[in-house]
Amino acid sequence: MDEIEKNTNLADIHQEVKTITQTSEELKSNIRSLEESSLLSVEILNENKATMNNILELLNTIAEKDKTMEDEEKENVNSELFSLLETMDFDIKKLSWFSEENVKVFNTIVDQAHEIAKLSEENAASTYEINAEINHFTQVSSKLQGNIVRIEENSSQSVAMLSENRATISSISDLLLDLIEGVNQASGINDELDGSSKQISKFVDYIKDISRQTNLLALNASIEAARAGAAGKGFSVVAEEIKRLSDSTATFATEIEQIVNQVIVEVDRSNAAIERCTTRTKDIEGAAQKSGDVIEDIQKVLIELNQSMNEIKDISSVQVNTSHGIQSSVAKVSDAVDTTHRVTTNTISTIVTQKSKNIELLNYCTKLSEMASSVQKLTAKNKNKDEIIFGVNPFTSPENIKTMYVPILNAVFKKIGYKVRTMIVKDYDALSEGMKEGIIDVAWFSPFAYVTAHEKVSIEPLVSPKVHGKVSYNGYIITRKDSGIGSLSGLRGRSFAYVDEVSASGYLYAQHSMKSEGLNPKTLFSRTAYLGSHDSVIKAVLSREYDAGATYNEAMEEAEKSGINLDEFRIIAKTPDIPKDAIAANPKLPIEFTDRLRQAFVDYVKAPNIKSPVEGFVESDDAKYDVIREVM
């Protein structure tokens, strides 16, 4: 029977289909996330539109009443304008955040769509090969079934022939038994003949003895007749005749003896022949018996073989039917794969178009944000005396900043009689520049950004936030559990995501950890990116946009609260304790103000209605950040 050569492994195809399914689910999830983000973007745009209308109305009011407005009224209008600009800036930053996230999601979707298209194309080719193999397999199965049927028929005929041969051998065995019985009877007759011959020999010996005695008597009679003379002449004749008869009797007895002896010899030879015949007949009978037993065993084996062939025939029939079913299923899979490939290819074109539009939207948002920041800076220069500009880098989403951190700032500054205006800047460098320009009064710095700003602006830390009872945190290098990366050396040739170049855990300590292992971060990866926030790094690793990334423990904890399953991650490196962020004041501010502000932060007690990981604040100083300088 011909063997089927497997050019395609069905297990591999099955795995590829599973991968397509998994990727499709992720694609669906990303599209759903994109849809939700788009709806939120529209909502934000509508809110922003209303805010801008309010700003326009306020600006018109200022233009109309500028000369007639009192100072207090101007301050109120300016404060209201700043509030509106602050709201608009938050909304624009949020929109930019969503747009950036959308672009990343679009990149992921395009990659996933390309992957699906690639796998679909590979599967299409594979299904064609499988279909050809299945057709061949079906033909061979049909041929195999025909051969099995013929073997089963031949097996049945063999069983019948063996049954007949067994009966024949049984008949031969019976004939041999009859023959043995006949030979035994002949042997018995020979034994009787031998006995009779021996008895005749005895009689012959007796006759010979009588003949000798008779001959002796005749001789004596002749002697006596001679003595008697003429009177004994007649008696002499009788004696002579008796002697003649005695001699004849002796001669006949001798001949009889010879014949009997010959008969005895022949009987002995006959007995020997009969004995040999009996022995050979018994051997033949034994062989016939063994042949019968062997044939019986062969018959049993053939009967079992016949039963097995019947089972194989049934299995072969099922196999043929199954192969026809597989053939039909593979044809359907092939059609489905073709359709998937066609739909995916069309989808990729649509997604690429939408991606370019979203990038365009992001560019508009960036320009709008820059314009809003410029207006906000101008307004900040004219802030009221009781207003403080607080700068924050988007280390998390603008929405989180607004809900988790702004309420804390409001509470702290309210305690010392000030109204805080939160300004979200584009990066950590912008915080330093804002302080240098005198626009930002107080700012929230990451450890590395603080060290950099200290060198540029000579700022000093006031306090550090306390989270989960700790004033330090740990940097992580994370990857997915299914990435196949188990250590830092496993990062070679992979893609990696940083936060930005002034992030302690998101860049500095990650590079330090790699260098400590003898790895060169500049040549280690296939590609790298700076994603701007820890949230973005975590999501990029989760979505497989990047194989690994740098973040820290609290960002992971917050991600878990937002619904991300941390069980999907593996931490392959963890830093020693790193001092937490620094809240620092512009050195141009009065010392009395900074002292009051420091104490207000230290006295802060988290209110139940504020959803923030920050539990409180502790005093800090520049020396605590020397551990950062050691690895810079």
Residue 301 included in any domain: yes
Q: Decide if pLDDT at 7 tops 50.
A: no
Burial code (b: 16+ CB inside 10 Å, e: under 16) for 397-410 equals bbebbbebbbbbbb
* 3-state percent breakdown (helix, strand, coil) of the chain, nearest 5: 75, 10, 15
Average pLDDT over residues 491-516: 92
Q: How confident is the model at residue 141 (pLDDT cuts 50, 70, 90)?
A: low
458 with 527, same domain? no
Q: How confident is the model at residue 462 (pLDDT cuts 50, 70, 90)?
A: very high
Residue 338 included in any domain: no
CA pair distance 176, 188, nearest whole angstrom: 18
> Do residues 611 and 558 make contact, with C-beta atoms less than 8 angstroms apart?
no
- Greater pLDDT, 214 or 600: 600
Residue 236 included in any domain: yes
CA pair distance 69, 296, nearest whole angstrom: 126
CA pair distance 515, 505, nearest whole angstrom: 15
pLDDT of residue 209: 74
Q: Decide if pLDDT at 443 tops 70.
A: yes
At 362, list the tokens. 């992001």
> Do residues 621 and 465 make contact, with C-beta atoms less than 8 angstroms apart?
no
Lowest mean pLDDT among 28-42, 123-137, 280-294, 431-445: 28-42
453 with 501, same domain? no
428 with 520, same domain? no
Q: How confident is the model at residue 8 (pLDDT cuts 50, 70, 90)?
A: very low
Q: Decide if pLDDT at 1 tops 50.
A: no
Q: Decide if pLDDT at 554 tops 70.
A: yes
How many helices and strands (H and E) does the chain possess?
Answer: 13, 13
The SS3 of residue 7 is: coil
Residue 564 included in any domain: yes
Residue 443 included in any domain: yes
CA angle at residue 528 from 522 to 530, to 5 degrees?
115
> Do residues 285 and 180 make contact, with C-beta atoms less than 8 angstroms apart?
yes
pLDDT of residue 402: 83
Q: What DSSP state is assigned to residue 404?
A: I
569 with 588, same domain? no
* Residue-range definition of the domain harbouring residue 538: 477-574
Residue 20 φ then ψ, to 5°: -60, -45
193 with 291, same domain? yes
**68-77, 325-334, 618-627: range with highest mean pLDDT:** 618-627
Domain count, the chain: 3
Task: Please identify, among 531, 552, 574, the residue that sits at the C-terminal boundary of a domain.
Answer: 574
Per-residue model confidence as pLDDT tens digits over 332-369 = 666 766 676 676 677 667 667 766 766 776 676 666 66
CA 491 to each of CA 185, 507, 528: distance values in angstroms, whole numbers, following the listed order: 103, 15, 12
CA pair distance 433, 534, nearest whole angstrom: 23
Of the candidates 141, 32, 44, 148, which has an alpha carbon nearest to the alpha carbon of residue 91? 44
CA pair distance 362, 97, nearest whole angstrom: 9
Q: What is the CATH number of the domain that holds 438?
A: 3.40.190.10
Task: Please identify, among 282, 298, 327, the residue that sits at the C-terminal boundary of a domain.
Answer: 327
Exposed/middle/buried for residue 355 (C-beta within 10 Å: 0-12, 13-18, 19+): middle
Residue 161 included in any domain: no
Average pLDDT over residues 160-164: 67
CA angle at residue 166 from 163 to 167, to 5 degrees?
90
pLDDT of residue 306: 66
Cα dihedral sign, 166-168-169-174:
positive
DSSP structure string for 192-214: HHHHHHHHHHHHHHHHHHHHHHH
Q: Decide if pLDDT at 454 tops 70.
A: yes
CA pair distance 481, 447, nearest whole angstrom: 29
Q: Decide if pLDDT at 207 tops 80.
A: no
212 with 233, same domain? yes
pLDDT of residue 3: 41
User: What does the chain come to in residues?
Assistant: 632
Query: The whole model's pTM is what?
Result: 0.49
Of the candidates 134, 606, 549, which has an alpha carbon nearest to the alpha carbon of residue 412? 606
CA pair distance 292, 73, nearest whole angstrom: 128
323 with 235, same domain? yes
What percent of the chain has pLDDT above 90? 25
Which residue in this structure is represented by tokens 């950040």? Answer: 625
Neighbours of 336 (CB within 10 A): 15
CA pair distance 625, 112, nearest whole angstrom: 42
> Do residues 144 and 1 make contact, with C-beta atoms less than 8 angstroms apart?
yes
At 334, list the tokens. 């092939």
293 with 433, same domain? no
pLDDT of residue 5: 42
Residue 342 included in any domain: no
Q: What DSSP state is assigned to residue 470?
A: B
CA pair distance 111, 117, nearest whole angstrom: 10
pLDDT of residue 55: 59
Instruction: List the beta strands (DSSP E) in 296-449.
Output: 387-392, 419-424, 442-445
> Do residues 59 and 52 make contact, with C-beta atoms less than 8 angstroms apart?
no
SS3 annotation, 174-194: HHHHHHHHHHHHHHHHHHHHH
Average pLDDT over residues 87-98: 63
Average pLDDT over residues 574-601: 93
pLDDT of residue 570: 97
pLDDT of residue 540: 94
427 with 291, same domain? no
Burial code (b: 16+ CB inside 10 Å, e: under 16) for 481-511 equals eebebeebeebeebbbbbbbebbbbbbbbbb
Average pLDDT over residues 506-532: 93
CA pair distance 401, 396, nearest whole angstrom: 7
512 with 445, same domain? no
Of the candidates 3, 142, 82, which has an alpha carbon nearest to the alpha carbon of residue 375? 82
448 with 492, same domain? no
Query: If residue 17 lies in a helix (H) or strand (E), which one and from where to where?
Result: helix 10-65
Q: What is the CATH number of the domain that holds 272?
A: 1.10.287.950
Q: How confident is the model at residue 61 (pLDDT cuts 50, 70, 90)?
A: low
Of the candidates 100, 197, 139, which has an alpha carbon nearest to the alpha carbon of residue 4? 139
Residue 629 φ then ψ, to 5°: -65, -30
At 400, list the tokens. 């989180």
> Do residues 477 and 426 make contact, with C-beta atoms less than 8 angstroms apart?
no
CA pair distance 130, 504, nearest whole angstrom: 54
CA pair distance 553, 574, nearest whole angstrom: 9
> Do residues 202 and 264 make contact, with C-beta atoms less than 8 angstroms apart?
no
pLDDT of residue 194: 67
Q: Decide if pLDDT at 456 tops 60.
A: yes
Neighbours of 147 (CB within 10 A): 12
Mean pLDDT of the chain: 75
Per-residue model confidence as pLDDT tens digits over 417-429 = 999 988 888 777 8
Q: Decide if pLDDT at 626 tops 70.
A: yes
296 with 231, same domain? yes
Q: What DSSP state is assigned to residue 508?
A: I
CA pair distance 139, 327, nearest whole angstrom: 11
Q: How confident is the model at residue 442 (pLDDT cuts 50, 70, 90)?
A: very high
SS3 annotation, 26-54: HHHHHHHHHHHHHHHHHHHHHHHHHHHHH
Task: Please identify, among 327, 344, 368, the residue that sits at the C-terminal boundary of a domain.
Answer: 327
Residue 514 included in any domain: yes
